[in-house]
Structure 1
Amino acid sequence: MKALKTAVAAATVSAALVAATSAQAATANANLSVAATVGSACSITSGSLNFGSYDPLVVNASAGVDLLASGTLTVQCTLLGSAVLTLGQGTHPASGSTDAVPLRRMRNTVSTDFLDYFLYQDVTRLVVWGNTAGTGLPYTGTGLPVPVNVYGTVPRGQNIPSGTYNDTVVATLTF
């Protein structure tokens, strides 16, 4: 019984102390400002476009057909970020070539001969792809990598020597 009385007395004292402490407690509030800035970011992964074999005597002769090909670049920009994808004139542009109207050429790897070609934004090959805001491809970011097709033609009727022809075109994202 004595232990029970002692326990009850201790509980009573504890309750009184808690009540006294609670009665003396006070609070104060303040706001914590939280902020972040999400910047625009874009990346581009290079690709390739291979026209294959050009036959200036039969298939791609003046009465023949243009040589067609397509390649893919991969573009990724922050969600809803806007950008313009442009393609440069290439390493070997023809005389009179401009960023707005590029006259691209591939060069023979063992001579100074050239093979003309054009790059387009659309599968119908009507919109020439240039290196200006007005001739580039507008792009809106999804946050995910997106493949972007590049279409090309090598015009028929080019009388050139046999060999391997190549060029390098710089793709640029402006955002």
Structure 2
Amino acid sequence: MFTSNKNRVISVATAAILLVSSAPVFASSTATGSLINTATVLASCTVVGSTIAFGNYTSSQVDQTGNVAVLCTNGTSYTIGLDAGAGTGATTSVRKLSGSLGGTLNYALYRDSGHTNNWGSTIGTDTQAGTGNGLIQNLTVYGRIAGSQTPLAGVYTDTVTVTLTY
């Protein structure tokens, strides 16, 4: 009987070894998914105009420049218009500086250095178009006070509204 128990123990041990060694091996697995990322870039623009200081007027033509600084999102199309200003009776072709002691002094604003392209406020006619690049773009405004005017003495000013449409 002793042999039979010994054989049984060996048989059980062998069976256990075979069972463990023949057990299926599970490979490691992976699963994948997606992480979706989004962002929205809104078109936006800002505009700032400078001062055009004509200096002293002595009945001779005076030319000076200023600028309009535009900052628009990259790829954003825009137009810049300048209104007639605050001078009584002014138009976008003939703007009027108003004197501190009364009177007016006519002047004009242009989009080009040759003073041939009036800068007004009608989109597609006399405005300046551009496309933003994400950086500040400076557009030159060419101002001219024509000669041979006879204004009263005093300080003359006007405020022109810059309109950026995008």
The TM-score bracket by the shorter chain reads: 0.7 to 0.9
Alpha carbons 1:92, 1:106 under 8 Å: kept: yes
Larger CA Rg, structure 1 vs 2: 2
TM-score (norm 1): 0.74
For 1:76, which of 71, 83, 87 is the aligned residue? Answer: 71
What is the CA-CA distance between 1:33 and the residue it aligns to? Answer: 2.4
What is the CA-CA distance between 1:93 and the residue it aligns to? Answer: 4.6
Partner of 1:108: 99
Partner of 1:155: 146
Runs of 4+ in structure 1 displaced over 6 angstroms?
none
**Structure 1: gaps (5+ residues):** 1-15, 61-65
Matches within 5 A, 1:34-113: 34-56=37-59, 60=60, 66-94=61-89, 97=91, 101-111=92-102, 113=103
Query: For each residue in 1:50-97, what CA deviation from the matched residue of structure 2 results, as whole angstroms up to 9, or x when unmatched?
Result: 1111113xxx2xxxxx211111221111112110011111011526x3
- Partners of 1:88 and 1:23 in 2: CA distance: 79
> Is 1:129 aligned with 2:124?
no
Alpha carbons 1:85, 1:136 under 8 Å: kept: yes
Q: Percent identity?
A: 31
For 1:117, which of 107, 117, 124 is the aligned residue? Answer: 107
Alpha carbons 2:101, 2:152 under 8 Å: kept: no
- Partners of 2:57 and 2:43 in 1: CA distance: 42
- Partners of 2:71 and 2:116 in 1: CA distance: 25
CA-based RMSD: 2.1
Alpha carbons 1:93, 1:102 under 8 Å: kept: no
**Structure 2: gaps (5+ residues):** 1-19
Task: Give the counterpart letter for 2:74 in structure 1.
Answer: L
TM-score (norm 2): 0.77
